[in-house]
């Protein structure tokens, strides 16, 4: 009988080890399939794989009771696993309280179903880091300069963000606001609540602090005013897999993966309330060769967001390049899929396909401004389904938090201005939005070479273009109760093609300004009388074919 029990235990252990490795091979097949037939040059990603050995955090003394702080046990197990050549660090079912977790090379941090890792908000459990430019609390899951890592499983990482996060008065109903403000402190104008007393004083003191001269003994006085920690922040890493896990209740940005080469994210869930301050969902920054699929986001800031900063791009022509995002869902968010606002590192070759966005502010949002802008090109967005947006279905913005205040954008920051070129929207459907499409340039910057193909949007208002160049609307239907359906201002080379549906009455297109030129209507079922030419625009610049 005893021998039988031992044999059964061995079989179960072998099955667990197999369960850690077989999915890697299966995921590799899925990755290879998703990276076929791209609209730009193909690329490949090698999914991380790990040795067979499993290291259980309980063997290092970890206790899953929600009270014991297990930072040393978890990080010690990760270090042991990495130094032994790698494998899987197992977090079994339980409630595991911990301080920041530091990842290491060749480690798969695996959360079993029923495992919830809760990050302590106690100051003594959260080291402060001085980067020389800022003081900040260590990210809750962190790591840099790594190779071949993974975070997998069916468990949950809870960032305990309610102990860190300020809340704006405008975002909560009265009853909830009164309840939450029984502790902590309010800003002088009463519009923002902070969970930790002393925050306002710390923020004021930080304004005059010389970060470079501070020693660790002085950090604590500034702690309440410091930047809240990211839930996960991995940087400068080759080969990373994130699969199956849930990230929730983040103190700040939920997922900031920066400078990763070879990243796969599958079935990752982000669950934050819509009113969570600065709680971006899945941020990919200065990364190359990325596949994200079957992911779900509900959050209080940008949903799935692409960022690229010149300072982190390591001299590459495009800091963010070769990105494929498929089969994802975004609910509450400032934007379903977002580019920016940091684009100064450059972006190239992005495909977003077969995604659903509901309840977000903007559906597809491209934003940047002088001081943080750069070239963004070859962006393919197709098969997108959106419902009940509080903002625009599609939006381009070139003045987002513009860093300069005088002169033209080019004068302000010659090499840091937005340059949006070559965007392709195909099979875009939206049922309900504040506005349909807004494409806005600036006095000296244009959005250019954008194609909308088979786009159908129902919205409270139509399409506006300003300082836009080479924009094509092919088989585009805008269902809006107001006119004009299209408003073109200082825009050049705008083509309407194969349009057989339009609002039954009202102005279809309003052509404004003498700088609006070469507007063509080809194979469109729109009466010429429904196109108004105003404010000095020239009739000769509008042609029906």
CA dihedral 495, 499, 505, 508 (to 10 degrees): -10
The closest alpha carbon to 420, from 456, 392, 378, belongs to 378
Determine the Cα angle at 120 with ends 114 and 123, to 5°: 175
CB 25: neighbour CB atoms within 10 A?
10
The model carries a pTM of 0.94
Query: Which is higher by pLDDT, 486 or 11?
Result: 486
Burial label, 463 (beta-carbon count in 10 A; 0-12, 13-18, 19+): buried
Question: Which residue is listed with tokens 């949903």?
Answer: 303
Residue-level pLDDT at 338: 98
Q: Please give the full DSSP string across 219-251, using - where no structure is assigned.
A: HGGGGGGSBPPPSEEEEEEEEEEEES-EEES-S
Residue-level pLDDT at 411: 52
Distance CA 485, CA 466 (A): 15
Residues 6+ apart with CB under 8 A from 159: 119, 140, 229, 231, 247, 248, 249, 250, 251, 254
Checking if the pLDDT of 320 tops 70, the result is yes
Q: Could you tell me if residue 61 is left (phi over 0), alpha (psi between -120 and 50 degrees) or otherwise beta?
A: left
Cis peptide before 183 (omega within 30 of 0): no
Residue-level pLDDT at 529: 94
Checking if the pLDDT of 22 tops 50, the result is no
The CATH architecture annotation of domain 232-544 reads 3 Solenoid (2.160)
Quote the mean pLDDT of the chain. Answer: 92
Residues 6+ apart with CB under 8 A from 11: none
Residue-level pLDDT at 404: 47
Distance CA 24, CA 22 (A): 5
What is the C-alpha R_g of the chain? Answer: 26
pLDDT tens figures, 44-63 = 999 999 999 999 999 999 99
Look at residue 494 and give its three-state secondary structure. Answer: strand
Range 493-518 burial, b when 16+ CB lie within 10 A, else e: ebbbbebeebbeeebbbbbbbeebbe
- Give span(s): CATH 2.160.20.10, the chain: 232-544
**145 with 233: CB under 8 angstroms?**
no
Residue-level pLDDT at 13: 45
Residue-level pLDDT at 30: 98
Percent of the chain with pLDDT over 90: 83
Checking if the pLDDT of 251 tops 50, the result is yes
Task: Give the lowest-confidence range in 203-217, 249-263, 354-368.
Answer: 203-217
pLDDT tens figures, 279-305 = 999 999 999 999 999 999 999 999 999
């Amino acid at each position: 009988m005893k021998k039988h029990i031992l044999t059964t235990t061995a079989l179960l252990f072998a099955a667990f080890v197999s369960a850690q490795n077989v999915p890697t091979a299966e995921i590799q097949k899925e990755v290879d399939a998703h990276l076929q037939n791209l609209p730009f040059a193909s690329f490949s990603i090698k999914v991380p794989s790990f040795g067979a050995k499993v290291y259980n955090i309980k063997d290092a003394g970890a206790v899953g009771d929600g009270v014991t702080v297990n930072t040393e046990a978890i990080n010690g197990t990760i270090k042991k696993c990495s130094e032994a050549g790698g494998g899987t660090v197992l977090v079994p079912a339980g409630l595991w309280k911990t301080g920041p977790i530091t990842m290491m090379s060749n480690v798969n941090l695996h959360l079993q179903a029923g495992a919830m890792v809760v990050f302590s908000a106690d100051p003594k459990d959260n080291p402060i880091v001085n980067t020389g430019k800022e003081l900040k609390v260590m990210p809750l899951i962190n790591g840099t300069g790594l190779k071949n890592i993974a975070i997998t499983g069916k468990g949950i990482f809870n960032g305990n963000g309610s102990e860190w996060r300020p809340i704006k008065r405008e975002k909560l109903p009265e009853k909830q606001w009164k309840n939450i403000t029984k502790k902590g402190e309010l800003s002088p104008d009463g519009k923002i609540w902070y969970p930790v007393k002393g925050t306002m004083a710390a923020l004021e003191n930080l304004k005059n602090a010389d970060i470079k001269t501070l020693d660790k003994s002085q950090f604590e006085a500034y702690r309440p005013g410091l930047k809240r920690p990211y839930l996960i922040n991995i940087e400068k890493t080759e080969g990373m897999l994130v699969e199956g896990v849930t990230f929730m209740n983040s103190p700040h940005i939920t997922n900031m993966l920066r400078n990763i080469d070879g990243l796969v994210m599958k079935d990752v869930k982000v669950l934050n309330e819509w009113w969570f301050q600065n709680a971006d969902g899945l941020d990919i920054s200065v990364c190359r060769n990325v596949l994200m699929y079957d992911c779900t986001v509900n959050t209080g800031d940008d949903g799935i967001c692409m960022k690229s900063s010149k300072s982190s791009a390591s001299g590459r022509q495009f800091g963010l390049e070769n990105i494929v995002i498929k089969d994802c869902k975004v609910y509450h968010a400032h934007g379903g899929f977002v580019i920016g606002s940091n684009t100064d590192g450059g972006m190239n070759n992005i495909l977003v396909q077969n995604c659903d966005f509901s309840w977000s502010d903007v559906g597809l949002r491209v934003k940047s401004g002088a001081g943080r802008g750069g070239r963004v090109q070859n962006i393919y967005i197709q098969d997108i389904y959106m419902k009940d947006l509080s903002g625009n279905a599609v939006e381009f913005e070139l003045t987002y938090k513009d860093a300069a205040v005088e002169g033209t954008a080019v004068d302000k920051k010659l090499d840091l201005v937005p340059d949006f070129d070559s965007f392709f929207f195909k099979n875009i459907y939206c049922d309900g939005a504040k506005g349909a499409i807004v494409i806005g340039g600036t006095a000296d910057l244009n959005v250019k070479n954008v194609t909308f193909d088979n786009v159908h949007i129902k919205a409270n208002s139509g399409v506006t273009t300003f300082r836009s160049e080479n924009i094509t609307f092919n088989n585009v239907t805008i269902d809006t109760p107001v006119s004009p359906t299209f408003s073109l201002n200082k825009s050049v080379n705008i083509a309407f093609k194969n349009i057989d549906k339009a609002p039954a009455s009202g102005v279809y297109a309003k052509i404004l300004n003498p700088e609006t030129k070469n507007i063509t209507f080809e194979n469109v079922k729109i009466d010429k009388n429904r196109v108004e030419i105003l404010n000095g625009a020239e009739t000769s610049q509008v042609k029906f074919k």
